Structure 1
Amino acid sequence: MEKICIGVDVGGTGIKLGMFREDGTLIKKWDFPTDTSDNGSHVLPDIAKSIQTMTEESFHGKAELIGVGLGVPGPVQPTGYVEVGVNLNWREMYPARELSELLGGVRVEVGNDANVAALGEAWRGGGEGAANAVLITLGTGVGGGIIMDGEIVTGKHGLAGEIGHIHVRDGETEPCNCGAVGCLEQIASATGIVREAKRRLAKEKERESGLRAFGDKLTAKDVCDLGREGDALADEIMETVAKYLGETVAMLCMTIDPEIFIIGGGVSRAGAYLLDKIRVYYDRYMKISQNRGRVVLAELGNDAGIYGAAKLVLG
Structure 2
Amino acid sequence: MAKNLIGIDLGGTTTKMAFLNQQGEILEKWRILTDISDNGSHIVDNIIKSIQQHIEDSGKTNADFIGIGMGTPGTVDRENGTVSEAYNLNWAKMQPVRQKIQEGLGLPFDLDNDANVASLGEYWKGAGSLEEDVVFVTLGTGVGGGVIANGKLLHGVNGGAGEIGHIAVQPNGYQCTCGKKGCLETYASATGIVRVAADMAKEFHGTSRLAELEQTDEKITSKLIFYLADNGDILANQVVDRICFYLGLALSDIGNTLNPASIVIGGGVSNAGNTLLQPTTKYFQENAFPSIRDSTKLKLAELGNDAGVIGAASMALQFR
Q: What's the TM-score bracket when you normalise by the shorter of the two chains?
A: over 0.9
The within-5 A match list for 1:292-311 is 292-311=295-314
**2:22 pairs with 1:22:** yes
Once the two structures are TM-superposed, the CA of residue 222 in structure 1 deviates from its matched residue by 1.7
What amino acid sits opposite 1:280 in the alignment?
K
Contact 1:78 1:154 in 2 (8 A): no
C-alpha distance in 1 between matches for 2:83 and 2:231: 44
What runs of 5+ residues in structure 2 fail to find an aligned partner?
none
Residue deviations 1:151-178 (CA, integer Å, cap 9, x gap): 3212121211111111110132x42122
Mapped to 1, the partners of 2:62 and 2:240 lie a distance apart of: 52
| Cross-structure match for 2:51 | 51
Identity of aligned residues (%): 43
AA aligned opposite 1:33:
L
Separation in structure 1 between the aligned mates of residue 186 and residue 298 of structure 2, nearest angstrom: 22
Amino acid across the alignment from 1:265: G
Structure 2 Cα separation of the partners of residues 267 and 24 of structure 1:
25
Residue 105 of structure 2 corresponds to residue 103 of structure 1: yes
> Deviations 1:202-225 (Å, cap 9, x if unpaired)?
122x32211034334111112112
Aligned to 1:109, the other structure's residue is in SS state strand
Hey, what's the Cα distance between the residues in 1 that align with 2:234 and 2:131? 37
| SS in structure 1 of the partner of residue 12 of structure 2 | coil
Residue 255 (structure 2) aligned to one of 253, 256, 268: 253
Matches within 5 A, 1:82-93: 82-90=83-91, 91-93=93-95
Q: Name 2:177's counterpart in structure 1.
A: 177
CA distance in structure 2 between the aligned counterparts of 1:32 and 1:162, rounded to whole angstroms:
28
In the alignment, is the contact (CA less than 8 A) between 1:5 and 1:21 conserved in 2?
A: yes
For the pair 1:285 / 2:287, whether they are aligned, the reply is yes
**How many Å apart are 1:77 and its aligned residue?**
3.1
Q: Distance in 1 between matches of 2:156 and 2:87?
A: 19
Deviations 1:106-144 (A, max 9, x none): 110100001000110111111122222111111111111
Which residue pairs with 1:267 in the alignment? 269
Deviation at 1:237, TM superposition (A): 1.0
3-state SS, counterpart of residue 134 of structure 1: strand
Whether contact under 8 Å (1:123, 1:130) holds in the other structure is: no
- What residue identity is the alignment partner of 2:19? M
TM-score (norm. length: structure 1): 0.94
- Equivalent in the alignment of 1:154: 155
Does 2:237 correspond to 1:235?
Answer: yes
Cα contact 2:136–2:147 (8 A) shared by 1: yes
Q: Which residues of structure 1 form unaligned runs of 5+?
A: none
Find the residue that maps to 2:135 and give its secondary structure.
strand
| CA drift at 1:189 | 1.0
Secondary structure of 1:22 counterpart: coil
Distance 1:235 1:60 in 2: 52
CA RMSD of aligned residues (A): 1.6
CA distance in 2, matches of 1:52, 1:81: 22
- Cα distance per residue 1:9-50 (max 9 Å; x no partner): 001111000101123221010000011122212111111111
| Distance across 2 between alignment mates of 1:209 and 1:75 | 42
CA distance in 1, matches of 2:50, 2:137: 30
Alignment check: 8 A CA contact 1:6 1:19 kept: yes
1:226 is matched with which residue: 225, 228, 243?
228
CA positional deviation for 1:292? 2.4
Distance 2:99 2:147 in 1: 24
Paired residues for 1:63-142 under 5 Å? 64-79=64-79, 80-90=81-91, 91-104=93-106, 106-142=107-143
**What is the Cα deviation at residue 291 of structure 1?**
4.0
Q: Secondary structure at the match of 2:246?
A: helix
SS of equivalent to 1:137: strand
